[in-house]
Structure 1
C-alpha cells in the first residue's frame, strides 16, 4: 500500500494572529515519470473537488505510482469559510473584490532572455532551467516584494510555487448549476479525450490570471520564442511536455462522493495516459465529446428581471429559436404578460446556468457553446 506524506503550509495570517493553513498531500513516485499537481476549492462554494481529492487519495493507495503526485484540498482557507447565512460565497476576495482565481503570476518578459541564454542546450536542461526560473520568480514575489502582497496573492503564489514543480496541473472547480466541462489549452486538445468529460473549452495562449494559464502559457510562449529563431522545440516532446487544465466538476455548494469516485477515475485515466501511474484498468469512456474555442463560449444575460424557470438541458444542442428559459413576472399579472420566453437566434450547447431562480436584469443567465464541434 502506498503511503502519503502530509504537510500543513501557512499561507497567511488573520487579524487575530490565527494562521491560514492549507493541507498538502504528497506521494513519491517510484521512477522519474512525469509528476502531477492537483488542487481544489480555490473558490469557496466549489467544494466537490475536495471529495474528488479524497477519492484520489483512496484509489492511489493501491495503484503503482510512477511520478510524484501532490494533492491540495481546501486550497483557499479564506474562501471556503466565507459564509453568508446558509450560502458559501468565496468567489471574490471580499477586501479587493478580485476573483480568487485571477491572482496568479506570469511575466512574459522572462521568455526571450531565457531563450537567448538557452540556444544550443539540451531539451532536458532547458526544461529543468525554465522550471527553476518560474519557481524563482514566484519566490521573489513572495519574499522580496517591497510593497507587500494582498491576501489573495500570498495564497495564490504559494499554491503556484507547488504547481510549477509538476509537469501536469489540474485545478478542480465547479460552476453554479453546471454540467461537467474542461478548460483545455488548444495545443493539448488530444489529451481531452482521456478525461470522461463531454464538454471542452479550448483556450488560447493568453494569460488572464488563472492557475491553468499561469502554468501552461509560459511553456507555450517558450516554444513560440524558440520557433521565432527557427529552433523547433515541441511542448509535446518528452522534456517539454507540460499541460494544465481547469476541471469543472458540476455544480457548487454540494458534494457527491459517488460522483467524486467517478471523477477521480476520470482523472486517473488521464494520469495513466501520461505515465504518472501504471494502472491499465483506467481507460477513458467512449462518448461524444463536444468542444468550442474560448471565444465562442458565450454568456447570455437576462433581458429582464424576474423569476426564472430554466428549460434548456445541459449537453444537448438547442436549436435556434427554442427556449432557454421562461421568466415569470407576477407584477404584470392581470394587466400585462406575466410569462416571457427567452431564446437565441443560433444553435447552442448549454453548459451552465445561474444558481438562483431570482434574477435581476443583466444577470448571467446561461453560458453556452456556440460554433461547437465534436472533438
Structure 2
C-alpha cells in the first residue's frame, strides 16, 4: 500500500492554540498524472466533507488493490480555521472572522514569480517537458511564499500541494443549487465535459478570470499567462493544470447516498484520466453544456422583503419570465422579478428575507451580460 497521511500544524496561530491540516497521499510521489482534491475550503459547505470521506474509503481500497497508477492527494477538510468559527451558535465557514476575507479568495498567482525566473534555454520544443519544468517551478514558487497570518499560511499549504498537479478538483456547494462546475475556457477541452457528465451536472461556467484569485484559477491560469509570455512554435507551453470547482448542489444536500454516488463519479473520472487502473463507464456527451460565467443572469430583489419563488431549481426559463416576487410584509406591496436571459435556474438563495439588491436566483444564460468587474459573488 502507498497510502500516507501527513498532519501539519498551521503556523502563525495565537498562543496556546493550534490548528492542523490532514493530507492523504496515494500512489508514488512524482508519478503522473497527479490529481489534487480538496473539500471544505468554505468550511460551512458540508456536502464536500461527506464526499471526501467516501473518496478516502474508495481510494484506500483501490490502493490496497494496487490500482493507483498516478498520484492522488486528498485534503478532506481543507479549512480547519473555518471549521472552528462558530458565532452566536451559527457556523461561519466562508469568511475569515479575523479579516473578513473569503477563504476562497486572495490565493497567490504565481505566474509572475515563475516568469521572472525563466531563462533562455529553460523551455524547448517538447511541450510535455516544458510542462514538467513549469510544474516544478510553480511548486518552488509556492514554497517560497512568506505568509504572515494563519489564513495565508493555510493558503500557502494548500497551494503548495496543488499547483503542480495535472488535475485539481475543489469541492464546494451553493446555497440552493443543482450540480454545476466552474472552470476556464482553456481547461474545458481537457476532459471537464467527462467530469460534468459523470456528476450529472446541469451547468458549467467558463471564465478566463473570474476575479479575486480563487483557488482553482490560481492553479490553472498561470499556464495561460506563461503561454502568452513564453510560449511559441519553438517553446510550446501546454495547459498544464485542469482545475475545476465542483459545486455539489446546495448547502442542505448533505446526504450519504448522494455523497457516495458523487464520490463514485469522481473515481470513475480519475480512472478515465488514467490515474486509477480500472475501467471507466461510457457517459453521454455534454460538450454543449458550458456557458460563459459572464452570462449568468443574477435576478435581484428590487426592494427589501420576503422572497417568493415561482420557479424551481432545474427549471428552464425564457427572458421576461416572472420568476420571483418580493413581498413587503408591512405594506402588502408585491414586486415582480423577471429573468433577463433564457436558461436553466441553477441556484437560489436559502435566505427568503431579502435586502434591496440581494441576489435571489440565477439563470445560466449564453449571452454575455457582464463586461467588467468580478464575476463571482462575495
Query: TM-score, normalization: structure 1?
Result: 0.87
- Post-superposition offset of 1:249: 0.5
For residue 317 of structure 2, give the secondary structure of its aligned residue in structure 1.
coil
Give yes or no for contact 1:290–1:372 (8 Å, CA) kept in 2: no
| Distance in 1 of aligned mates of 2:2 and 2:118 | 38
| Distance in 1 of aligned mates of 2:311 and 2:344 | 9
| Distance in 2 of aligned mates of 1:345 and 1:78 | 39
Give the unaligned 5+ runs of structure 1.
Answer: 143-147
1:138-287 to 2 correspondences below 5 Å: 138-142=142-146, 149-190=148-189, 191-195=191-195, 196=199, 197-204=201-208, 208-227=212-231, 229-231=232-234, 233=236, 235=238, 241-252=240-251, 255-284=254-283
1:289-300 to 2 correspondences below 5 Å: 290-300=289-299
Q: Report the equivalent of 2:20.
A: 21
Give the unaligned 5+ runs of structure 2.
Answer: 369-378
| Distance in 2 of aligned mates of 1:217 and 1:31 | 22
Q: Report the equivalent of 2:374.
A: none
| Distance in 1 of aligned mates of 2:244 and 2:22 | 21
| Distance in 2 of aligned mates of 1:153 and 1:293 | 30
Query: For residues 116-168 of structure 1, what are the alpha-carbon distances to aligned partners after superposition, in whole Å with 9 as ceiling and x for unaligned?
Result: 442436444433332222222222213xxxxx523321111111001123221
Distance 1:297 1:235, change over 3 A: farther
Q: Does 1:137 align with 2:132?
A: no
1:281-360 to 2 correspondences below 5 Å: 281-284=280-283, 290-333=289-332, 337=333, 339-360=334-355
| Distance in 1 of aligned mates of 2:101 and 2:128 | 37
Out of 363-372 and 303-312, give the one that drifted further: 363-372
Structure 1 residue ranges, 4+ long, deviating more than 4 angstroms after superposition:
285-289
Query: For residues 33-62 of structure 1, what are the alpha-carbon distances to aligned partners after superposition, in whole Å with 9 as ceiling and x for unaligned?
Result: 301110110112111111111111222234
Aligned residues: 358
Query: TM-score, normalization: structure 2?
Result: 0.86
Give yes or no for contact 2:194–2:286 (8 Å, CA) kept in 1: no
